[in-house]
Amino acid sequence: MRILSFLFVLLSFNIFAQTENNQAVYSFPKIKSSITMPVTIPLSEISNMVNSSVKDLIFQDDSYTDNDNDQFKVKVWKTRPIRLVGDANQNIFIEVPLKIWAEKGIGTLGIYTYQETTFETVMYFKTALSFKNNWSVSTFTQPMGFKWVTKPVLDYGKIKIPITSLVESSLKDQQYKFCKTIDEQMAAQLNFQQYAVLAWNAFSQPCNISEEYNTWLKVTPINVNITPLKFYGNQIDTNIGIDIFSETFTGTKPEASQPVKTVMNFNFIPLLADKFLLQTTANIPFSEATNIAKKTFLNKEFDIRDSKVRITDIKVYGEADRIMIEADTEGYVNGTAFISGIPVYDETKKKIVLSDTKFKLKTSNLLQKLATSLFKGKIVKMIEDEYGIPTNELETSSKKSIEEAFNKEYYKGLKISGKVFNLKPSRILLNDLGITAVIDINANLKLTLKGL
């Protein structure tokens, strides 16, 4: 019943980032987001748990003299698995098929003749089930009568004595005892606190999402929201929402959060969306941004007034909230051009590009105003049109790997199915070391417990 313990894998996909292994640990923005998923629990799974906890021999009375010297012995077995059916009022109807052996003494003054019989019946119960916010389940089971499959009769040859009324009285007493047993077994088998602790601690372990770039993702659960249970004929449905902080690190593995021994109570919430928005970060160091600029522009030439200008060196760094591209040129213009812009995501180009560009030139040769304007127009347009940090590979590979993670059976009996509808950078942030893209992931998930 490890309902939550798979969730730490949901963010385990490749993030486009780069760092040297001997760099220090760097932390990037902590992103608050939520994961929401429908959970389906087939009643057959609860039935399996009940059947595994209820032995085939349910009851045994080996004394003739108990119960006011009733001269009656009885043994009760399960003949088939116990069956559960749900209704719309948070009740579970339980059907228990039984085979009963009975032996009855007939006589007086201490002299009895004993005869045995075997018969079958089906007992019915109604269990009201509620999920408490401390991760435990409480049930209240009531008897709902029984029906005879074969009635009990003692056969003395010519004399056949029905003992239906005697057995019925005993069965009614046993039904009330069975109610207590059912409630005790349900409470023991359906306590999710231990699984929530395991899941919470596993969820909090840093996950290596890119060995190539030594990139780590750390997820910190904040709280859990659960919608009321909905009962159907063959299953129970609910929605689970987990609020989290996700952080991306490069370099050395970050420390895990302190393990917990108990998980905080969850919150009941009337409704959670089937789809969810998950956010994480992708980090591009300025060294990588510079490499992209060099591959695009280094030694590139362009014309100015029948002369040529060649870019001899280029580097990218941050300045306040702007990306600065510093390009050294020679030829018609000998100097350094500074083109800065606010980084934004261009969905058409699938690139992080510059907007609101500004230009500044530092040169030793004096240029005419017209020539300076021509040079500015040429180099700024070239940077705006051609420079960009591609995210297409990030988006494609991440979508693929997330959907692979969404459609697996991580534990026996715990099946996940899901789909990513959209994945793209939504905000671009700058820090001292590079560019951080906040990635929005629109997806849905479904969790089914089967075969536990």
385-444 pLDDT tens trace = 999 888 887 777 777 767 776 777 656 666 778 888 888 888 898 988 888 888 888 888
Cβ(279)–Cβ(441) under 8 Å?
yes
Per-residue pLDDT tens over the stretch 187-218: 877 777 776 777 677 667 777 666 655 667 77
Enter the DSSP assignment of 450. Answer: -
| Mean per-residue pLDDT of the chain | 79
Let me know if residue 8 belongs to a domain. Answer: no
Let me know if residue 198 belongs to a domain. Answer: no
Going by their DSSP bridges, the two strands 57-61 and 26-27 should be labelled as unpaired
Q: What's the structural domain count of the chain?
A: 1
Please state which of the ranges 53-67, 118-132, 279-293 shows the lowest mean pLDDT: 53-67
Let me know if residue 119 belongs to a domain. Answer: yes
Cβ(87)–Cβ(234) under 8 Å?
no
Which phi and psi (to 5°) does residue 263 adopt? -100, 140
* Residue 108: domain span: 43-189
Say how many Å lie between the first and final Cα of the chain, rounded: 7
The pLDDT confidence band at residue 29, using thresholds 50, 70 and 90, is low
Residue 130 scores a pLDDT above 60: yes
pLDDT at position 4: 33
Q: Of 359, 302, 375, give the one whose Cα is nearest residue 326.
A: 359
Max avg pLDDT among 65-79, 261-275, 329-343: 329-343
pLDDT at position 209: 63
Q: For residues 327 and 310, what is the distance between their CA atoms, to the nearest angstrom?
A: 10
Please state which of the ranges 16-20, 45-49, 78-82, 102-106 shows the lowest mean pLDDT: 16-20
Alpha helices (runs of H) in 190-219, residue ranges in sequence order: 193-203
pLDDT at position 232: 85
